[in-house]
C-alpha cells in the first residue's frame, strides 16, 4: 500500500485509504476518498477525529468517513460508526446538532420547456410561502404542547393527518417518516419552546429548496423505477429539526459528559462524550433524538405541501395534474438501531451516520416495495451553482459501510472565510449568469454558501460510485433556489 505524506493514511485502492490501528484505537479507520480530494484533508483535524472515534467502546469493524469528510463536533462530518447494541455506546457527537437534517426529492410530469420563464415566479412564491432564515417561524401555525408531542411521536404521519400531503408520501420516506423509540417526554421544555413555531420552516445555513432539471440519466432502469426522465422538473428540499433538534443535542451533550465519567469511558476528545447504548442515559438520548428526527420528518412533509401549493398557484392546475410526487426522503445526522452481518453473524448495532446517508441494497425490507429490485434511492445535493445527484444503494455498501454512503459535497472553507472571499461580490448575480435564480433571507447567507465554499459534488459522487457503495442513477442541475 502506498503511504501519503501529509496525513497518516495508507492507500488501499483508488477510492479507499486506511488509518492503521495505533495507540488507543480499537479498530482501523477507513476513508473513502481518492487522490484528487485527498489534498483537502490536511486543512482540518477530520482524520484525527476518525482516529478518535475508533477509540470508543464497542465500535465494530472500522471508524469510517465518506469523501465529503470535514471537521465536525466530535465525529467528523461524513463519519460513519457502528457500535454493538449491548457493549457499545451512543454519542450525540456522532449524530450532530441538526438531528435528521435530510433531503427529499420530488418529481413532476413537467419538462424543462413547460416551466419556461416561470422559474423566477416559482422561486419568488416559494420564498413567500415557506419562511426561511435564522429564527424563521410561521405566523399562521401555532402548536399547543399536546400537538407538538404528537409531532414528536408521529413525525410525517402527523403532518399527513393534518392535511399536509398524502399516505402515499409516507411510503417513500425513510422509516415511513416515523422513527421508532421516540419519547416526547425526554425532550426538554426549552426544546419544546424553540420548536413550537418553527415547524414548516426552512431554517438557515446550507438548507434550501431547489427547483431543478434532470440533466443526465446514467441508469435507465433505476431512473424509470424512481420515476425520473431526461429534462424533467424536480424539487429538492434540504432541512432538518430546526431549533428543537439543536436544543436536544445541546441538552444531552451536558448529560453525556457526566455519563462518560460515571461509566469510566476514556474520551480522546471531550466532544465524543457518550454513554453505553443500553444504559438509562443512552436510552434517554436515543428516544429524544428519535423525537427530534420525527419533528424533522414532519417539517419536510409540511414544506412539501407548500411546494405543491406554490406550483398550483403558478400553473393554475392541481398538484395531481402536475404530477408532483415524492421520490424519496433520506436522513442525515442520525443514530439507528439496525441489524447487519458482522464476521458472518447477524448483529444488533447502533449505527451513527453524521453527515452520511443510508444506502440500502436491492431486496432489503427497509426499501419501499416499488424500489426493492433497484435499491434505496440515495439523494446527494450539491451547492447552489452545481449539480445534485440521485444514486441507489448496493450490496457492497451493506458489506462494507453498514449500508452507508456520502451525503453531499462537503465544505472546503469556513463560513467566515467564505464571507471574506465574497466581499464586494454579488453571488446572486454570479449565479444568475449561470441561469440559476436564487432568493435568500440575507446576503450573508449567499456569501457563506457560495459554490467555491464546497467541494465539487461530482467528484465526491464519483468516489462512492467507483467504490461501489452507491450507484449513479441521474444528475439534476439547478434552475432556482431559496436559501435560509
How far out from the chain centre does Cα 135 lie? 20
Contact criterion met (CB below 8 Å) for 232 and 111: yes
Higher pLDDT, 328 or 418: 328
Q: Residue 4: what pLDDT? A: 41
CATH number at residue 256: 3.90.1860.10
b (16+ CB within 10 A) / e for 272-301: bbbbbbbbebbbbbbbbbbbbbbbbbbbbb
Radius of gyration of the chain from its Cα atoms, rounded to whole angstroms:
21
Please check whether residue 105 lies inside any domain of the structure: yes
- pLDDT category of residue 439 using cuts at 50, 70 and 90: confident
Please check whether residue 5 lies inside any domain of the structure: no
Higher pLDDT, 376 or 207: 376
Contact criterion met (CB below 8 Å) for 152 and 294: yes
Q: Which residues contact 316 (CB under 8 A, 6 or more apart)?
A: none
- Tally of CB atoms within 10 A around 13: 10
Question: Environment class of residue 25 by beta-carbon count within 10 Å: exposed (0-12), middle (13-18) or buried (19+)?
Answer: buried
Contact criterion met (CB below 8 Å) for 259 and 273: yes
Q: Which residues contact 212 (CB under 8 A, 6 or more apart)?
A: 233, 234, 235, 236, 388, 476, 477, 478, 479
Question: Taking Cα atoms as reference points, which of 229, 221, 219 lies closest to residue 473?
Answer: 219
> What is the C-alpha separation between 422 and 206, in angstroms, rounded?
16
> What is the C-alpha separation between 395 and 375, in angstroms, rounded?
9
> What is the C-alpha separation between 327 and 224, in angstroms, rounded?
11
Residue with cell 442541475: 477
pLDDT tens per residue across span 260-292: 999 999 999 999 999 999 999 999 999 999 999
Please check whether residue 2 lies inside any domain of the structure: no
- pLDDT category of residue 139 using cuts at 50, 70 and 90: low
Give, as one character, the DSSP assignment of residue 276.
Answer: E
> What is the C-alpha separation between 448 and 425, in angstroms, rounded?
12
- C-alpha cell, 80: 460513519
Please check whether residue 1 lies inside any domain of the structure: no
- pLDDT category of residue 254 using cuts at 50, 70 and 90: very high
> What is the C-alpha separation between 99 and 240, in angstroms, rounded?
7
Annotated active-site residue 22? The verdict is no
Strands (E), 366-428: 377-380, 388-392, 404-405
**Mean pLDDT of the residues in the chain:** 92
Please check whether residue 24 lies inside any domain of the structure: yes
pTM for this prediction = 0.94
Number of structural domains found in the chain: 1
| pLDDT over threshold 60, residue 3 | no
Please check whether residue 3 lies inside any domain of the structure: no
Contact criterion met (CB below 8 Å) for 179 and 155: yes
Give the structural domain span for 344.
Answer: 10-483
HSE-CB of 273 using CA atoms within 13 angstroms? 21
Higher pLDDT, 434 or 348: 348
| pLDDT over threshold 80, residue 138 | no
SS3 424: coil
Q: Residue 23: what pLDDT? A: 96
Question: Taking Cα atoms as reference points, which of 35, 4, 8 lies closest to residue 20?
Answer: 8
> What is the C-alpha separation between 277 and 259, in angstroms, rounded?
11
- Torsion angle, alpha carbons of 307, 310, 315, 320, to 10: 40
Please check whether residue 227 lies inside any domain of the structure: yes
HSE-CB of 439 using CA atoms within 13 angstroms? 19
Catalytic residue from among 238, 332, 352, 407? 407
- Tally of CB atoms within 10 A around 335: 27
> What is the C-alpha separation between 328 and 310, in angstroms, rounded?
20
Contact criterion met (CB below 8 Å) for 56 and 91: yes
Give, as one character, the DSSP assignment of residue 2.
Answer: P
- Across residues 113-138, what is the average pLDDT? 84
How far out from the chain centre does Cα 327 lie? 16
Residue with cell 462518560: 260
Please check whether residue 149 lies inside any domain of the structure: yes
| pLDDT over threshold 60, residue 5 | no
* DSSP alpha helix (H) spans, 172-241: 189-195, 220-225
Contact criterion met (CB below 8 Å) for 93 and 271: yes
Question: Taking Cα atoms as reference points, which of 464, 472, 476 lies closest to residue 403?
Answer: 464
Amino acid at each position: 500500500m502506498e503511504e501519503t505524506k501529509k496525513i497518516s493514511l495508507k492507500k488501499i485502492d483508488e477510492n479507499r485509504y486506511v488509518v492503521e490501528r495505533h495507540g488507543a484505537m480499537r479498530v482501523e479507520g477507513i476513508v473513502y476518498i481518492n487522490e484528487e480530494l485527498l489534498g483537502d484533508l490536511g486543512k482540518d483535524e477530520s482524520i484525527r477525529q476518525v482516529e478518535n472515534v475508533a477509540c470508543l467502546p464497542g465500535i465494530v469493524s472500522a471508524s469510517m468517513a465518506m469523501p465529503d469528510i470535514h471537521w465536525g463536533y466530535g465525529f467528523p462530518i461524513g463519519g460513519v460508526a457502528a457500535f454493538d447494541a449491548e457493549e457499545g455506546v451512543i454519542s450525540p457527537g456522532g449524530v450532530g446538532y441538526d438531528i435528521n437534517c435530510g433531503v427529499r426529492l420530488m418529481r413532476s410530469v413537467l419538462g424543462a420547456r413547460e416551466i419556461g420563464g416561470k422559474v423566477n415566479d416559482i422561486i419568488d412564491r416559494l420564498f413567500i410561502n415557506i419562511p426561511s432564515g435564522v429564527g424563521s417561524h410561521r405566523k399562521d401555525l401555532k402548536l399547543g404542547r399536546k400537538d407538538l408531542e404528537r409531532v414528536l411521536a408521529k413525525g410525517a404521519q402527523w403532518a399527513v393527518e393534518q392535511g399536509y400531503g398524502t399516505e402515499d408520501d409516507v411510503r417513500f420516506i425513510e422509516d415511513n417518516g416515523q422513527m421508532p423509540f421516540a419519547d416526547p417526554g425526554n425532550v426538554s421544555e426549552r426544546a419544546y419552546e424553540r420548536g413550537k413555531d418553527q415547524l414548516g420552516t426552512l431554517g438557515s445555513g446550507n438548507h434550501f429548496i431547489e427547483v431543478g432539471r434532470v440533466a443526465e440519466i446514467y441508469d435507465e432502469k433505476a431512473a424509470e423505477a424512481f420515476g425520473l426522465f431526461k429534462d424533467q422538473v424536480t424539487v429538492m428540499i434540504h432541512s432538518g429539526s430546526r431549533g428543537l433538534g439543536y436544543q436536544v443535542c445541546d441538552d444531552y451533550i451536558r448529560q453525556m459528559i457526566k455519563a462518560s465519567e460515571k461509566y469510566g469511558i476514556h474520551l480522546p476528545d471531550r466532544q465524543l462524550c457518550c454513554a453505553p447504548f443500553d444504559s438509562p442515559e443512552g436510552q434517554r438520548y436515543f428516544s429524544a433524538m428519535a423525537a427530534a428526527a420525527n419533528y424533522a420528518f414532519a417539517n419536510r412533509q409540511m414544506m412539501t405541501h407548500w411546494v405543491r401549493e406554490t406550483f398550483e398557484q403558478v400553473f393554475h392546475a392541481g398538484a395531481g395534474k402536475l404530477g408532483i410526487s415524492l421520490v424519496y426522503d433520506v436522513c442525515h445526522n442520525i443514530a439507528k438501531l439496525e441489524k447487519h452481518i458482522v464476521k458472518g453473524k447477524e448483529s444488533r448495532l447502533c449505527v451513527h451516520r453524521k453527515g452520511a446517508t443510508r444506502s440500502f441494497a436491492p431486496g432489503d425490507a427497509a426499501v419501499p416495495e416499488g424500489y426493492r429490485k433497484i435499491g434505496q434511492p440515495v439523494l446527494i445535493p450539491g451547492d447552489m451553482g452545481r449539480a445534485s445527484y440521485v444514486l441507489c444503494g448496493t450490496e457492497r455498501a451493506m458489506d462494507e459501510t453498514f449500508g452507508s454512503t456520502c451525503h453531499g459535497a462537503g465544505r472546503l472553507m469556513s463560513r467566515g472565510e467564505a464571507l471574506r472571499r465574497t466581499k464586494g461580490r454579488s453571488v446572486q448575480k454570479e449565479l444568475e449568469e449561470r441561469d440559476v435564480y436564487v432568493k435568500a433571507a440575507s446576503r450573508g447567507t449567499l456569501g457563506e454558501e457560495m459554490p467555491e465554499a464546497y467541494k465539487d459534488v461530482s467528484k465526491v459522487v464519483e468516489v462512492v460510485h467507483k467504490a461501489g457503495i452507491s450507484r449513479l442513477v441521474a444528475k439534476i442541475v439547478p434552475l432556482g433556489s431559496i436559501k435560509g
